[in-house]
Amino acid sequence: MALRKIVCIEDELLRKKSRPVEKFDEKLHKLLDDMAETMYEANGAGLAAPQVAVLRRIVVMDCGDGLIEMINPQILETEGEQDGPEGCLSVPGRRGMVKRPMKVRAKFQDRNGEWYEIEAEELLARCIMHETDHLDGRLYVDIMSREIFEDEEEPEAGEEQK
């Protein structure tokens, strides 16, 4: 495994649409391992492939219940709303309040190409929305209601860098 360099907000790669993964091979597995290592090293809760300069539809996340790898994720349904703080490893030193669905149903492939469905809520739902946004060139700063400033009191528990 190896750490990959995380690209930052100024990089136009973060604004591009990522392409679906078609080959579930060794190269993909290596990338997934590197992405997980890079995410954990940076103390992040999620990382999308464009953040390591690979324009493919791949995300890894860990919201406290273990590593989840999603290849070609698709949001099938959303329900409700939550408002809370978000950060992003590609937007260092900043955080903002972002409204997201409270519940998300999504399908995705695993590293071997097998399809799965997941129903997530609260923090994991937020994380899935944040990471899949990356695959379409969207960043949380595009949709945040406001910036959270350093000297501010914590708006809400459960804040994570994604």
- Distance in angstroms (rounded) separating the CA atoms of residues 159 and 49: 22
Quick check: is 131 catalytic? Answer: yes
The pattern of x and - marking residues 98 through 137 that bind Ni ion according to CB under 5 A reads ----------------------------------------
Binding residue for Ni ion, selected from 4, 57, 126, 162, defined by CB under 5 A: 162
CB of 111 to Ni ion, least distance (A): 21
The torsion angles phi and psi of 85, rounded to 5 degrees, stand at -80, 145
CB of 23 to Ni ion, least distance (A): 25
Q: Residue 13: what residue type?
A: L
Number of other residues whose CB lies within 10 A of the CB of residue 11:
14
- Distance in angstroms (rounded) separating the CA atoms of residues 47 and 88: 9
Q: Which of 22, 69, 79, 131 is catalytic?
A: 131
Binding stretches for Ni ion (CB under 5 A) = 88, 162
Return the active site residues.
131
